[in-house]
Structure 1
């Protein structure tokens, strides 16, 4: 499995086109040493052990892989057993093809023809390294002859220390059941109102937040490092996944809430589902900009 490396004097990124178009490593030089911005990985064999993968043509879960679109009942395979719901689409489980490459940029794509997902589309990922900052743009174009549902997201695994803090603006949080399916909108954790930031370690979240403004800062006091995160304006939902006992947390900008297509079908408003007409496209982007923490 061949990796592609984007490098300069102050940052390095490793990407695997064959393994779901995933990022395997991202480090930046801060205080004269390279710091892992995304979690440290070695000899990655599974995309779920990678550092970031694309969510396309939907993010998170579709309940039991079942939904109705334009009066047609759709049944998707359960693609991550024993998970009871179809999850994260196809991009993370398919090989991507290199279409453009330079020392500090890479473009990948795949063409999805009608199979388990009954609609054709073209997926594109562009990675750009500029000084220490890594930018990712994910695009989905409808190549079918009918209108299709669309949803996009990115799934980065950030390094987690005991003192890690997140500063971000969100409105509310979807509470979930024991299958991580949404139950009701509730207040966000009160600790997210702290001006210093929300302590991630021990938060044990796997929730979608609404009203994400697209900007955030992650701080690692132990590493004397921080990173600014900025996303495109259509990423109005945010998933924070911070499983207990792990050395990472996920900060996932997405265009819709969990099971958005079914929730919209029930009349729930503002789920974020996008409709693409033939030849229309939708894109999202995320930029991670690491900096040394001034003490």
Structure 2
């Protein structure tokens, strides 16, 4: 049996549940359309910094923020389009703006559909008309994030998109990685390093970009919590980013469609033609 309930917390929070699968999802549309909680059999899969989340002046650290129209940061937060400079902060604006709920479905799963349309605020930093439609679908141990990007501009729309899930972990030394690449770029010093399935968690920060992906899935086993998270992503996602900070109970494994600064360099940047749409999907599955 599937259900969708609405609770008024600090923000209106939609709660999707699968009673038979004993899973639960919380979504806060007005805070960037973000997923803030994903529980399976009472176990919380996501990390959330509740203090930052409570402050609307701060970006959220936790849950699953949406990255659009860029992933990562730009030099001096600036890009140039048709000879004009624009300022766009790290990861774009979709994670900060309110989204609108347009559909709820409780048949064969619990699904919530949210929409973000371009407006004067977005056009000031990104001169394109667009519509983003995200559908979160919960069924058993699986969370599907289906996305639709529409370009309503008169010209092609360049963008990159991604997700920034924060997974909860209490002992990072118990993590085992299956990432379809044998090297990554260390974003701290731009060096390219080989990868054999492990990271050095004694470092203050790990920020690793995997660009040469040989497949459309990755997984992380947490031996301490006896869980395995599998991430399946559509071919548009050219980059996987692993990020964590020492002393914090999270790690991030992020599918990006393009690397940092793609809006300036054009590297793997998507150009969506006028009037066209793009559909893509990311699926998370937890095994115990």
TM range (shorter): 0.7 to 0.9
**CA shift at 1:157, angstroms?**
0.1
**CA shift at 1:45, angstroms?**
1.6
Q: Is the 8 A contact 1:166 1:199 kept in 2?
A: no
Structure 2 counterpart SS, 1:93: coil
From 158, 164, 177, the equivalent of 2:167 is 158
CA distance in 2, matches of 1:165, 1:175: 19
Q: Is the 8 A contact 1:54 1:138 kept in 2?
A: no
> Structure 1 stretch 46-55 or stretch 241-250: which is displaced more?
46-55
Q: Is the 8 A contact 1:138 1:152 kept in 2?
A: no
Judged with a 3 Å threshold, the aligned counterparts in structure 2 of structure 1 residues 284 and 208 are, in CA distance, closer, same or farther, namely farther
From 59, 63, 69, the equivalent of 2:71 is 59
Judged with a 3 Å threshold, the aligned counterparts in structure 2 of structure 1 residues 200 and 106 are, in CA distance, closer, same or farther, namely farther
From 255, 262, 275, the equivalent of 1:279 is 275
From 6, 9, 12, the equivalent of 2:24 is 12
CA distance in 1, matches of 2:149, 2:74: 18
Structure 2 counterpart SS, 1:238: strand
**CA shift at 1:41, angstroms?**
5.5
Q: Does 1:205 align with 2:219?
A: no
Q: Is the 8 A contact 1:105 1:129 kept in 2?
A: yes
Q: Does 1:115 align with 2:87?
A: no
From 33, 37, 41, the equivalent of 2:45 is 37
**CA shift at 1:274, angstroms?**
0.9
**CA shift at 1:48, angstroms?**
1.3
Q: Is the 8 A contact 1:239 1:252 kept in 2?
A: yes
Structure 2 counterpart SS, 1:134: strand
Q: Is the 8 A contact 2:188 2:207 kept in 1?
A: no
Question: Can you give the 5+ residue segments of structure 1 that lack an aligned partner in the other structure?
Answer: 78-85, 265-270
Q: Does 1:168 align with 2:179?
A: yes
Question: Can you give the 5+ residue segments of structure 2 that lack an aligned partner in the other structure?
Answer: 1-10
Judged with a 3 Å threshold, the aligned counterparts in structure 2 of structure 1 residues 54 and 236 are, in CA distance, closer, same or farther, namely same
RMSD between aligned alpha carbons? 2.0
Q: With structure 1 as the length reference, what TM-score do the two structures score?
A: 0.82
**CA shift at 1:24, angstroms?**
0.8
Q: Does 1:97 align with 2:96?
A: no
Q: How many residues align?
A: 262
CA distance in 2, matches of 1:36, 1:200: 25
CA distance in 2, matches of 1:11, 1:288: 13
**CA shift at 1:73, angstroms?**
2.2
Q: Is the 8 A contact 1:153 1:284 kept in 2?
A: no
Equivalent in the alignment of 2:83: 72
CA distance in 2, matches of 1:111, 1:21: 12
Structure 2 counterpart SS, 1:193: coil
CA distance in 2, matches of 1:199, 1:35: 25
